[in-house]
């Protein structure tokens, strides 16, 4: 069972576009409102077949065409993200009617996105795209990323890059039919990750904007004092006028990712950097790979916990019959690696810890023996 998350436009009314009275919101009003108009639009293609290639291109909407190519069936769920305009809602309703007719048992619903419209570019950018992003993220969270497929074929083409970015960050495939093509194009689901160490210091600022909706531009300029930082991070913010800024859709995505309990960023102490060179020479070890995996996966970190010490320190054991051990702690978004030792030194340290609080001693010697901690990916031997 798949959950298809579809942008939805007005191509369902393609047979009405050439009528003397153009298809638009006024046409919907003249035909009795959204529900009545949806039925009238549906009647123009209700007999078209989803398994007919000619009908898919000539008679059926972009949303139906793409769903047919994806193999939508009666056990699936389809969410149609509609504009707030009457014509957009009527077309989404017509697509819903058709899918429920030809795929009995399918779950199909229309979700109207406030701010998605064509008359106010500022509202589209600051409200529509942001509300669309939130709605898609809510749907992914409700159904699980593994169940979802993003389908940005219909509707506003300017939503495609945001849809693709959501797919990259959440690990959700996106599929698309280009214009009059019949080929289904999978959009790349690249393993994108944020540079969390660069963005984490912005967390208080992003949280403030999220809580207050908008903040003075001066507060943003103070948080990003350098021109280079402002240039790089400007896309996270949206100018609201009157000296106020809010989160852009990209900024909201960043905030969502920072809030999710996901990967840690590994940092190595001075001593761990020296240890790393020695352990790399030990047969059967792969310390760089293991540290990276433990930082990326909370489950891997939990499984590896072997011997707790005081002051938040604990040992990681890579697995049974392995010789390498890792003394670590977690500070916010950072995984600090204090020592990397072989089994013999680990046993010696454990024996010593039974006589006195070695964890307290290590913590007390942090500034002299271990600092500074260097981000692992920046370290080059």
- Span 235-244, pLDDT tens digits: 889 888 889 9
Which of the 8 DSSP states describes residue 287? H
Distance from C-alpha of 287 to C-alpha of 279, rounded to nearest angstrom: 7
Q: Which of 250, 78, 61, 256 has its CA nearest to residue 164?
A: 250
* Average predicted confidence (pLDDT) for the chain: 87
Any idea which residue has 């950097």 for tokens? 273
Average pLDDT over residues 332-344: 91
Does residue 263 carry a pLDDT above 70? no
Average pLDDT over residues 90-112: 96
- Span 38-67, pLDDT tens digits: 999 999 999 999 999 888 888 999 999 999
Report all structural domains of the chain as residue ranges with CATH numbers, in order of start.
Answer: 3-187 (3.40.50.10770), 204-259 (no CATH), 265-378 (3.30.2310.20)
What pLDDT, on the 0 to 100 scale, is given for residue 20? 66
Does residue 233 carry a pLDDT above 80? yes
Asked if 197 and 295 count as a contact pair (C-beta separation under 8 A), the reply is: no
What pLDDT, on the 0 to 100 scale, is given for residue 380? 47
Average pLDDT over residues 366-373: 93
What pLDDT, on the 0 to 100 scale, is given for residue 367? 92
- Span 182-206, pLDDT tens digits: 677 777 655 555 566 677 778 888 8
What pLDDT, on the 0 to 100 scale, is given for residue 197? 65
Q: Sorting pLDDT into bands at 50, 70 and 90, what band is 275?
A: very high
User: Which of 31-35, 237-241, 258-262, 297-301 has the highest average model confidence (pLDDT)?
Assistant: 31-35
Edge-to-edge strands, sheet with 265-268: 305-308, 314-317, 325-331, 334-341, 265-268, 374-375
Q: Sorting pLDDT into bands at 50, 70 and 90, what band is 339?
A: very high
Distance from C-alpha of 46 to C-alpha of 241, rounded to nearest angstrom: 47
Q: Sorting pLDDT into bands at 50, 70 and 90, what band is 381?
A: very low
Does residue 94 carry a pLDDT above 80? yes
Q: Exposed, middle or buried by CB within 10 Å (0-12, 13-18, 19+), for 95?
A: buried
CA angle, residues 105, 107, 112, in degrees to nearest 5: 150
What pLDDT, on the 0 to 100 scale, is given for residue 259? 76
Name the percent of the chain lying above pLDDT 70. Answer: 92
- Span 61-81, pLDDT tens digits: 999 999 999 999 999 999 999
């Amino acid at each position: 069972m798949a959950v298809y998350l579809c942008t939805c436009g007005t191509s369902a009314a393609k047979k009405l576009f050439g009528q003397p009275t153009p298809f638009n919101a006024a046409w919907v009003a003249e035909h009795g409102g959204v529900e009545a108009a949806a039925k009238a639009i549906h009647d123009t293609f209700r007999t078209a077949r989803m398994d007919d290639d000619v009908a898919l291109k000539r008679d059926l909407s972009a949303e139906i065409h793409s769903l047919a190519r994806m193999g939508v069936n009666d056990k699936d769920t389809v969410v149609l993200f509609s504009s707030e305009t009457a014509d957009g809602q009527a077309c989404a309703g017509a697509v819903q009617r058709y899918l429920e007719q030809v795929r009995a048992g399918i779950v199909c619903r229309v979700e109207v996105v406030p701010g998605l419209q064509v008359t106010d570019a500022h509202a589209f950018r600051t409200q529509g795209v942001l509300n669309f992003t939130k709605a898609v993220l809510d749907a992914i969270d409700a159904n699980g990323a593994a169940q979802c497929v993003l389908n940005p074929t219909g509707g506003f083409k300017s939503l495609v890059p945001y849809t693709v970015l959501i797919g990259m960050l959440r690990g959700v495939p996106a599929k698309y039919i280009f214009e009059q093509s019949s080929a289904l194009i999978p959009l790349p689901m690249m393993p994108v990750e944020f540079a969390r160490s660069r963005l984490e210091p912005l967390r208080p600022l992003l949280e403030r904007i999220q809580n207050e909706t908008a903040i003075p531009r001066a507060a943003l300029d103070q948080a990003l004092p350098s021109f280079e930082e402002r240039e790089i991070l400007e896309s996270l913010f949206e100018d609201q006028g009157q000296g106020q800024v809010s989160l852009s859709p990209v900024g909201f995505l960043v905030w969502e990712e920072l809030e999710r309990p996901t990967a840690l960023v590994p940092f190595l102490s001075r001593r761990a950097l020296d240890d790393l060179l020695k352990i790399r020479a030990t047969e059967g070890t792969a310390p760089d790979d293991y540290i990276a995996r433990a930082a990326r996966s909370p489950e891997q970190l939990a499984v590896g916990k072997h011997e707790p010490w005081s002051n938040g320190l604990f040992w990681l054991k890579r697995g049974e019959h392995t010789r390498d051990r890792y003394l670590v702690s977690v500070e916010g978004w950072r995984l600090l690696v204090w020592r990397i030792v072989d089994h013999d030194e680990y046993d010696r340290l454990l024996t010593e810890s039974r006589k006195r609080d070695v964890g307290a001693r290590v913590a007390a010697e942090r500034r002299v023996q271990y600092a500074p901690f260097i981000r692992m990916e920046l370290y080059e031997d």
